Structure 1
Amino acid sequence: MGENEFVIVRPALVNDAEALAAVHVRTWRVAYRGKMRQDYLDQLDPSPRVQGWRQWIQQDPATAGILLLEHAADGVVGFITVSPSRDSDTDPEAVGEVKAVYLLPEYWGRGAGRLLMEAGLHRLKAAGFEEVVLWVLESNWRARRFYEAGGWRADGSTKTDESRGFPLAEVRYRYNNAEPVTEHPAR
């Protein structure tokens, strides 16, 4: 895939809410197959999520952000959301967080995820965050390999998210954002 295929990595706008909801749901259904309950994945519907995306975009403070990757032919194909860290054991004035990074499956392994991650890390660095954390499903080895290839390291923290009615084991990763953003190897 040539980098020229992508129009832009840009901040999300309110009128991107439907596309963001569609990418979110479609990516979850593929990325989390076998990692969480299938009946939960099957019932996911982007329509009710659109209003939530609109609100998140409207409330986007300077220290946070929703950035999207827009393809010349396919429109919005991925997004990253960043903010101050929400973890009680970190200082939200000093530690940023990658809250989510999702990319349509047909763009996996083509450099698009690296573009999104670089944009999110640059946004956090511009906001003064020299350390960044993210949480990932413990069983999501594809994502974990991606993060590790980009210089992220598991820090030993774990948690169980039960907000969906079933347990999801997660591990926390850290990134030193004081250094230049690490390039991911070409895939």
Structure 2
Amino acid sequence: MPDEVHAARGIGYRLTQWEEWFGSPKPNHLLIVILSEEKVVGFAVAKPNSDTDIQAYGEFHACYILPDYRGGTAGPLAMAALATYLHDRKLFPACIWAFRSNPYRRIYPALGCIPKVFRNRLIAGVSLPEIGYLVPDYQPLLNRLEKMRASAAVRQSQLPQRPRRLSRLFG
């Protein structure tokens, strides 16, 4: 992200955003927190899709994990929790938006996500290229996430253990 975007979306902006989320949870929105040894190492959000540029009912809105915890089981577990939440509320097919410069977006096609929309999003006066992926099917996504989680668990078993837990805050 360019510095202008980070400056505009700094701690004050985020604090207001989080206070709104916690103060008045919206229907069919899920916020989960990813914990390791009682330390917050990430969060993930699912909600109904409100973007008319892509034909989807639900949206994987966010999944942010601290760098030291990426590539492990946290991401697949969080995504599976979001997928199940959206599926149970009949919010499939769903979508995921990713900035083109995000190196982690490479996993979306491997999960069966289909790139459908290529556009620029204006944030803080900065035009950022993004891709909208359609997530068409729940069960194939869940199967791929489970394979990804199992593979990460094998890799992690060769390292000192880092237990992970998801905590549901609302939804």
| Superposed pair shares fold, TM > 0.5 | yes
Structure 1 counterpart of 2:97: 135
Unaligned runs of 5+ in 2: 153-171
Matching residue's letter, 2:118: T
- Tell me: CA distance 1:51–1:151, structure 2 relative to 1, closer, same or farther (3 Å): same
Q: CA deviation at 1:177?
A: 3.7
- Tell me: CA distance 1:150–1:38, structure 2 relative to 1, closer, same or farther (3 Å): same
Aligned residues: 147
Q: What TM-score does the superposition give when structure 1 sets the normalisation length?
A: 0.69
Q: How does 1:21-170 map to 2 (within 5 A)?
A: 36-38=1-3, 40-41=5-6, 45-73=10-38, 75-90=39-54, 95-140=57-102, 142-155=103-116, 157-170=117-130
Bigger drift between 43-52 and 82-91 goes to 43-52
Q: Is the 8 A contact 1:121 1:177 kept in 2?
A: no
- Tell me: CA distance 1:52–1:44, structure 2 relative to 1, closer, same or farther (3 Å): closer
- Percent of aligned pairs with the same amino acid: 27
Mapped to 1, the partners of 2:133 and 2:17 lie a distance apart of 26
Q: CA deviation at 1:45?
A: 3.6
**Larger relative contact order (Cα-Cα within 8 Å, sequence gap ≥ 6):** 2
Q: CA deviation at 1:68?
A: 1.4
Deviations 1:34-79 (A, max 9, x none): xx32354367643542232021133323412111111114x11111
Q: CA deviation at 1:82?
A: 1.1
Matching residue's letter, 1:154: P
Query: Which runs of structure 1 show a deviation greater than 3 angstroms over 4 or more consecutive aligned residues?
Result: 38-45
Q: Is the 8 A contact 1:65 1:83 kept in 2?
A: yes
Unaligned runs of 5+ in 1: 1-35
SS at match of 1:139: coil
Matching residue's letter, 2:99: L
Q: CA deviation at 1:128?
A: 1.0
Matching residue's letter, 1:174: L
1:174 aligns with 2:139: no
Q: Is the 8 A contact 1:125 1:177 kept in 2?
A: no
Bigger drift between 55-64 and 122-131 goes to 55-64
- Tell me: CA distance 1:39–1:119, structure 2 relative to 1, closer, same or farther (3 Å): same
- Tell me: CA distance 1:110–1:69, structure 2 relative to 1, closer, same or farther (3 Å): same
Q: Is the 8 A contact 1:159 1:170 kept in 2?
A: yes
